[in-house]
Amino acid sequence: MEDDSKGAVGLDLIPQLSLDCVIFGFHDGLLKILLLRWKETEEWSLPGGIVLQRESVDDAANRVLMERTGLTEIFLKQFHTFGDLHRYDKKELQDKLGHVISTEHWYDRAVSIGYFALVDYAMVFPNPDKYTDECKWVDLKEVPKLLFDHNAILEKAIQSLRRELSFQPLGYNLLPEKFTMPELMRLYEAVLDKKIDPRNFQKKILKSGIVIRLEEVKRGLAHKSPFLYRFDKERYEEVLEDGGLFFV
């Protein structure tokens, strides 16, 4: 372990603390995850980085995501802090990434704060940084072995995302302002990775009052013209305060 706080890159950083971002992308029924491929390697990881002394950890998360992927104005939510003793092997990292970035001065151990976000991947266009050859949206079912403990971090992020579903209406900023019930349901199905009974789903969502049915239908579909809905923001806030969707 280093005993100064300047760290490997000469920055005034908080020693042994890092953060990692799990960016979920949803579009058209598909759930993907944003991964980086390190320069001139086949090694993949989540976008991550360090925390500076002069910034809050939330600000650090936004800065790191921006620096590593170019993404801005993403609502990042902290979900878990990873503090096991052996999250990575420095020697192994040196072998794999030594030609991209010197890992010699990395700490033997770091505690990493995990953040996640859910965005529409058709609207978001990431750009790789100097350590990275590629930022890629990868299907959740095709995620390779990642560096560090990032597969475990991703797994925990998926669990957290699913928990959020039962607590609050996801899709608030993810679906179009007006959406159909099947569109909302496909989002829930993608996140839960299971089929949902449409009638039961519609009944529960309507009973919760978090969506309002509009006097409009969606046109241009092959068979029928389904009603459009929008979120009821006030009711949504109420539900959050009252203990989530179970008690509506």
**Rounded Cα–Cα distance for residues 160 and 144 (Å):** 21
Question: The tokens of 223 are what?
Answer: 């068979």
Q: Contact at 8 Å (CB) between 194 and 145?
A: no
The residue ranges of DSSP E strands in 39-110, in sequence order, are: 44-45, 48-52, 77-82
Nearer to a second copy by Cβ, of 141 and 195: the residue is 195
Please report how close the Cβ of residue 200 comes to a second copy at its closest, in angstroms.
8
Nearer to a second copy by Cβ, of 52 and 100: the residue is 52
Nearer to a second copy by Cβ, of 14 and 138: the residue is 14
Q: Contact at 8 Å (CB) between 53 and 14?
A: yes
Interface residue list for a second copy (CB under 8 A): 1, 3-5, 14-17, 51, 53-58, 60, 78, 80-81, 83-85, 109, 111, 113, 162-163, 165-167, 188, 191-192, 194, 196, 204, 242-247
Nearer to a second copy by Cβ, of 47 and 114: the residue is 114
Q: Contact at 8 Å (CB) between 90 and 152?
A: no
Please report how close the Cβ of residue 210 comes to a second copy at its closest, in angstroms.
11
Nearer to a second copy by Cβ, of 86 and 141: the residue is 86
The structure tokens 């009944």 sit at 203
Please report how close the Cβ of residue 6 comes to a second copy at its closest, in angstroms.
9
CB burial of residue 17 (10 Å; 0-12, 13-18, 19+): middle
Please report how close the Cβ of residue 224 comes to a second copy at its closest, in angstroms.
26
